Amino acid sequence: MAWPVSSRQLVGEGAIFDLVRDQVVDPTGAELRREWIRHPGAVGVIALDAADRVVLVRQYRHPAGLRLVEPPAGLLDVEGEDYLAAAQRELAEEVGLRADDWRVLVDMFTSPGASQESIRIYLARGLHDEPRPDGFVADGEEAQMDIVRAGLGDVVEAILDGRLQNPVLVAGVMAAAAARPGGWGRLRPADAPWPARGLRDEFLARAPFA
């Protein structure tokens, strides 16, 4: 469905994200200038323990200027890494846990008007303590995180009250709350296809940088 791109420029290159400027040709033939963020994508984990508590972290987010309550999550910045393996790694690194049961909760674009970021959010249950992976050292904001657990119902109420605003948390927890009455049977398996990821590569290949 992607509209043709007559030119593409790399406007700014960052450590994780790049700023891209496209001249896009709409169906009438008019050209539109659009800037967007090239993003590797991410995975997030709603980890639910036997007491129906969600395992969360509190992490400083500089663009927001706030310390946000979030689920474990991380970038898909390792070429060819399996999505589930990335989620399992993040769960171990950020909160020291592994899980017996994994399902896909929801796939989403976090801000499709400005960013290419797509994210897959998993449900993880059957939690056990897990040592941090060998070689992992928390730094930057991660070094200042702390871990909390909160009841699923309490987190839903906090979201509806506007007290929790991280998009991965909001989407993941609300999806979990919607799926729970059916005993999780509606959820997709952990290895379910993720078509948006393949389309991302096609989109990037469609127009080279000038």
Q: Are strands 18-25 and 31-38 parallel, antiparallel or unpaired?
A: antiparallel
* Gap between the Cα atoms of 55 and 75, Å rounded: 19
Q: How many CA atoms lie within 13 A of 174 on its CB side?
A: 13
For residues 87 and 93, is the Cβ–Cβ distance under 8 A? no
Ordered alpha helix ranges (H), the chain: 83-95, 152-160, 167-179, 195-206
Residues contacting 61, CB < 8 A, separation 6+: 67, 68, 141
Domain 42-193 sits in CATH at 3.90.79.10
Q: Catalytic pick from 141, 142, 157, 202?
A: 142
The pLDDT value given to residue 62: 92
Residue 94 among the catalytic residues: no
Q: What local confidence, expressed as pLDDT, does residue 202 receive?
A: 86
Sketch the domain layout of the chain as residue ranges.
5-38, 42-193
Overall average pLDDT of the 80-101 stretch: 95
Task: For the full predicted model, state whether its pTM sits above 0.85.
Answer: yes
| Percentage of the chain lying above the pLDDT 90 cut | 81
pLDDT at residue 10, as a whole number:
95
Band (99; pLDDT cuts 50, 70, 90)? very high
* pLDDT number for residue 201: 85
